[in-house]
Amino acid sequence: MSQDARTHRDEQDRDDPPRGGEPSRALLVVDVQPTFCEGGALGVEGGHAVAQAIAAFADATRGSYDLLVTTQDWHIDPGGHFAVPPAEPDYVDTWPPHGLAGTQEAELHPALADLAADVAVKKGAYAAAYSGFEGVDAQGRELVEILHEAGITAVDVVGIAESHCVRATALDALAAGLSTRVLLDLTVPVTPEQGATARREMAAAGADLLLSTDL
């Protein structure tokens, strides 16, 4: 952590009331974008409802988090990530165009208009990117650096889709040594089967899987 970041954190610690010894925790809102909701290029059933639920949860619990981060697919020219006609997407390694930088579909979902995130991370500009940890903010900082500089030691992960980018983000958070919770009622998979597989993988890696109402 830089000296400036350390000084800023020390000032925050003096100003903020103690939180009973709880870890410094961030809420990671992963890819809640129209492109991944019903009617979008890669719409997931239940996406709009999850976006609304995340907005309500964040509004009610904002004071419980030391940092709120959003991630977005923000594709400019991701190469082989997109299937170019006449090639057909296999929906494993190749996909229809989605999350195109600068389009309305790539913006945050309208339900999050009042979210007031501390940090916005964008990923996948020139290559496939699933995990939020593959993205950078406007200053070019990677997510792991952002969390480290803020003194974050624990994260709650929500967003779309559970089976893909939420899963990848949670696994990378664990790999970075962060205590990781996935709030299952604030995410939705592409299919139930893929969701079940993702939950097994995240749990096996050490993630806590729970409902937001359990907090």
Evaluated on CA atoms 59, 65, 70, 71, the torsion sign reads negative
3-state secondary structure of 162: helix
Alpha-carbon gap, residue 197 to 193, rounded angstroms: 6
Name the residue with tokens 């729970």. 210
* Alpha-carbon span 67 to 178, nearest angstrom: 14
**What is the DSSP secondary structure assignment for residue 210, as one 8-state letter?**
E
Q: Which residues are catalytic?
A: 31, 123, 165
Contacts (Cβ under 8 Å, ≥6 apart) of 148 = 1
